[in-house]
Amino acid sequence: MKRNDACWCGSGKKYKKCHMDFDARIDEIKYNINKSQIRPPHHLINSPQDIEGVKRAAIINTGALDLMDKLVKPGIDTLSLNDAAHEYIVSHGGHPSSLNYSGFPKSICISVNNVVCHGIPSKKTILREGDILNIDITTDLDGYFADASRMYIAGGKTTLEAKKLVDTTREIMEVGIKAAQPWHFIGDIGAACGQLARANGYSVVTDLGGHGVGKKFHLEPFVSHDCKAETGMLMVPGMIFTVEPMINAGRKQVVTDAYDGWTVTTQDGSLSAQWEKTILITETGNEVLAS
């Protein structure tokens, strides 16, 4: 691209006044191929307009999760939670992104106890006192996506084992977010998450992970939550992705339900927990966009 060409980001500015220095900094970095370090492609760099679009979607997404805070209780079925979230998102002008995504039949994912992720809401799944559950919601608004999930405890009290898993998994997510810094590599996130998980006697699911999000539901990069530091894609300002560690009380191996093709459970039946936020890499660190 020449200095006076319109910048590739779509800002309308000349390249020399916009992303020329940015690209030069990326080119100056010495990539170690043996460590599988990857340059970020231009299409993953979001413009200020794109970032504002994700933030607007996130407002609705956060509101739907806040509603779940009020509704989760023993005796409620997970389909009722799904329907309430669906109505909230639609009434605020958004669309529940999970609905019909690659055939997923419901608007949100609700994963109870040993379900790791992608749990399908059902009238038959009725919450019991002490159940732990992850509710994962993604909202798209005007072509922009925001994705987040939270853990809940039905009735507010559970076993010490389950409570520790829920709380520690949140700490693991926050440690991962803290490690997400500009001009460092995305493997730093997984290195931080994995270290804290093992220190607490837990395992990290590695078959699944975080992902880029913004103008599509799922984009590069894949965000592993247990890997080596200084590996993976370079994190640069403008990138948006999720940090969403899935932490098992037992072994890390998981299985996908052969009947519905979606529900992922721990292979050994142990409890699992997950927290998720969508973050933006900035010039000085990162900003949480959806939580």
pLDDT reported for residue 34: 66
pLDDT reported for residue 30: 78
272-274 and 246-248 beta bridge pairing:
antiparallel
Six-digit token string for 20: 């020329």
Model pTM? 0.95
Strand partners of residue 223: 210
> What is the per-residue pLDDT across 124-156, written as a single tens digit (0 to 9) for each?
999 999 999 999 999 999 999 999 999 999 999
* CB neighbours of residue 124 within 10 Å: 8
Rounded distance, CA 209 to CA 89, Å? 25
Is the domain spanning 43-290 CATH 3.90.230.10? The answer is: yes
pLDDT reported for residue 262: 98
pLDDT reported for residue 213: 98
Residue 216 near residue 21, CB atoms below 8 Å: no
pLDDT reported for residue 33: 67
For every residue of 42-96, DSSP letters joined together read: GGGPPPHHHHHHHHHHHHHHHHHHHHHHHH--TT-BHHHHHHHHHHHHHHTT-EE
pLDDT reported for residue 80: 98
Which positions of the chain have pLDDT values less than 50? none
Residue 129 near residue 154, CB atoms below 8 Å: yes
pLDDT reported for residue 85: 98
pLDDT reported for residue 11: 87
Cβ-count burial 197-230 (b if 16+ within 10 Å, e if not): beeeebbbbbebbbbbbbbebbbbbbbbbbbebe
